[in-house]
Amino acid sequence: MVDLGPQTRIVARLAASVADEQLTAATPCPGLRVRNLLGHLLTLSPAFRDAARKDLGPRTDTSPAATLPDIGPGWRARLPEALDEPAEAWRDPAAWTGGTRAGGVDLPGAVAGAVVAGELVIHAWDLARATGQAYVPDPDALDAALGFLRAAADGPARDGLFGAAVPVPEAAPPLDRAVGLSGRDPAWAPGTRPRAART
């Protein structure tokens, strides 16, 4: 089990510091602007909450790539609340046992929890890079994310989730290795062309 609360609070702090004029800025995810990335987080949060609760339905059955996400009015107030819900749901030990579903994919609970950690760690990096913010992930969430990304690197779970891994030296910091395994270039900065990383 990993307490996802520290990482969701980091994501919320990064989002709170996004200026309105940055909402149209490019991100490391091709085709996604900052506003789309924030919309993605708003969409993922209830889906990951439901996955933890084993409350399977439209939210857990729908691929995040099905539509281009966006923010709506009041997103600044809604996003921290939305992020709190999966963090609380994944504190239940039962969330990490048995099976569940996320993004239309059936997964063991422990794997689904690691996927959630990975999404939170990597998308926080996306948001920080796109908006010029400093970012240090929660160490426990980063460990879970890196473990999942390593395990998925050569397996079928990678298909449809990530672009081709970007080679990163094994001696690189853990966050850089996780970013590379997710199909992103750790050196990405605004004005550079994103690799074909998926969300």
| pLDDT digits 0-9 by tens, 95-149 | 999 999 998 899 999 999 999 999 999 999 999 999 999 999 999 999 999 999 9
Residue 153's pLDDT is what?
77
Assess whether pLDDT exceeds 50 at residue 159. no
Token pair, residue 137, equals 């992930």
Whole-model pTM: value is 0.91
Mean pLDDT over 149-159 rounds to 68
Residue 160's pLDDT is what?
47
* Farthest-apart Cα atoms in the chain, separation: 44
Residues 187, 189: Cα–Cα separation, whole Å: 6
Assess whether pLDDT exceeds 60 at residue 158. no
pLDDT band for position 77 (cuts 50, 70, 90): very high
Residues 128, 78: Cα–Cα separation, whole Å: 19
Torsions phi, psi of 106, nearest 5? -80, 130
Burial class (CB in 10 A: 0-12, 13-18, 19+), 188: buried
Assess whether pLDDT exceeds 50 at residue 64. yes
Mean pLDDT over 30-37 rounds to 92
Residues 131, 87: Cα–Cα separation, whole Å: 24
Work out the angle at residue 178's Cα, subtended by the Cα atoms of residues 176 and 179, and round it to the nearest 5 degrees: 65
Assess whether pLDDT exceeds 70 at residue 154. no
Crossing angle of helices 75-89 and 34-53, in 10° steps, is 30
